[in-house]
Structure 1
Amino acid sequence: MQVDTINTLMHSQHNDGYYTGFELQAMGFKSLGQNVLISRKAQIYAPHKISLGSHIRIDDFVILSGAINLGNFIHLGAFSSITGGDGVESSVSFGDFCGMSSYSKIFATTDDFAGGYLVGPCVPLALRNVKGSHIVLEKHCHIGSHSLVLPKSYFSIGASLGPMSLNMGRKLKPWSYYFGNPAKKIYTIDSCKILEKEAQMLQS
């Protein structure tokens, strides 16, 4: 593809409310794939710690902060947020075909609210007890609207968390749908149909 054509495609995103390809490159992401759409109303902190795959859409008012690794075919709905941490003791990683619905939250780090410590970023770190972990979502994992994921959580392939649900550090089983506060398994997801559709898409 000629350079002029590439430039036209990148700049054409501007009128749709997304950063252009040139602007995304200038942000200094750790890595950046192709066909990445990030709303101009989203907030990105520490982009040098964030890796983005290809075919990603990040909607209005999303917040990304800290060590985050997003695979391919990812959608983050409006007002969702990911707090990834330092990348050494805490991070968030998405496999391919994962997503977050609007207002859902992932925290790879959190303050100890009950252990006799002060909390919040305005307090000296020596007086806080910040706990963190690596949070992993394997392929085909989804988080429903208004749901919350806390440190030590792990989503096995195909695991999903329903709307208004809480996962406090559990490992969710493969191809399982969880719902509630705390979240409990409700039913098993049909993995065969999903994998068939994935294969059709990748072959097209």
Structure 2
Amino acid sequence: MIKGKIYDLAKIISINNLILGEKSQIDDFCFINSGKKTEIGRNVHIASFTTIVGGGECVIGDFAGLSAGCRIITASDDFSGPFLTNPTVHESFTNVKSSKVEIGRHAIIGTNSIIFPGVSIGEGCAVGAGAVIRKSLKPWTVYAVIDGRLKELKKRDMVSVLDAERQYLESEYA
């Protein structure tokens, strides 16, 4: 079900498995493989050059944002065993592992960040540009890459963000 806007130059694979909430937007030059299921809440912005790949499940909560060039990976080949490892090979010869990726409400993911399979980004979490996210992140926490490592910086003000959401939803703009 598509309620938001998908710009003309965005490419969506398996669009029947995509749920796009009201007032959400997928910009030009995004690539999304909806695979099993991709569920994007309301008022979500997915900026240009972002990709959601792997064909696994991805859920993005209301009011979240993916900045330009983000990569969400929902599945990966098993490189350790006696398998072939690319999409040109029939699936009976590969061992692709998919794991749901969840991005919480009000989460913000910075430009060119990469999220790996099985990761949950907590509600209200903010991640600076260029992060490589291999493990789940805490809600209402600000993270940034410092000296090549993702570090927890401070807490985000949950009360003020949720108050702003309430005001918005009660306004004529919602």
The Cα shift of 1:111 comes to: 1.5
Q: Which has the larger share of helix?
A: 1
Instruction: Return 5+ residue gaps in structure 1 as ranges.
Output: 1-30
**Structure 1 residues 116 and 166: CA distance shift in structure 2, 3 A:** farther
Partner amino acid, structure 2, of 1:135: V
Q: Could you say which residue in structure 2 is the equivalent of 1:198?
A: 165
Q: For residue 79 of structure 1, report the CA deviation from its aligned partner.
A: 0.5
Q: CA deviation at 1:143?
A: 1.2
Residues 155, 110 of structure 1: alpha-carbon distance in 2 compared, 3 angstrom cutoff = same
Q: Does 2:20 match 1:49?
A: no
Cα separation, partners in 2 of 1:65 and 1:130, compared to 1, 3 Å: same
Checking the alignment, whether the CA contact within 8 Å between 1:55 and 1:72 is kept in structure 2 is yes
C-alpha deviation, 1:124, in angstroms: 3.0
Aligned match of 1:172 in 130, 133, 137? 137
Q: Which amino acid aligns with 1:183?
A: L
Question: How is 1:13-162 mapped onto 2 (pairs within 5 angstroms)?
Answer: 31-33=1-3, 36-66=4-34, 67-83=37-53, 85=55, 90-115=56-81, 117-162=83-128
Rounded Cα–Cα distance in structure 1 between residues aligned with 2:144 and 2:13: 30
**Cα deviations across residues 144-201 of structure 1 (Å, max 9, x unaligned)?**
1111001110011111222101111x22111012223553322211112211111111
Unaligned segments of structure 2, at least 5 residues: none
Compared CA separation, residues 148 and 116, structure 1 to 2 (3 A): farther
Distance 1:125 1:178 in 2: 37
Q: Distance in 2 between matches of 1:95 and 1:186?
A: 23
Alignment-derived partner of residue 153 in structure 2: 186
Query: Larger relative CO (CA 8 A, sep 6+): 1 or 2?
Result: 2
Q: CA RMSD in A?
A: 1.6
Q: Measured at CA, do residues 187 and 149 of structure 1 come closer, stay the same or move farther in structure 2, by a change above 3 Å? A: same
**Could you tell me how far apart the structure 2 residues matched to 1:54 and 1:83 are?**
23
Deviation string, structure 1 residues 52-83 (Cα, Å, up to 9, x no partner)? 11001111100111220011001010000112
Aligned residues between the structures? 167
* Aligned partner of residue 123 in structure 1, secondary structure: coil
Which shows bigger deviation, 53-62 or 173-182?
173-182
TM-score (norm 2): 0.88
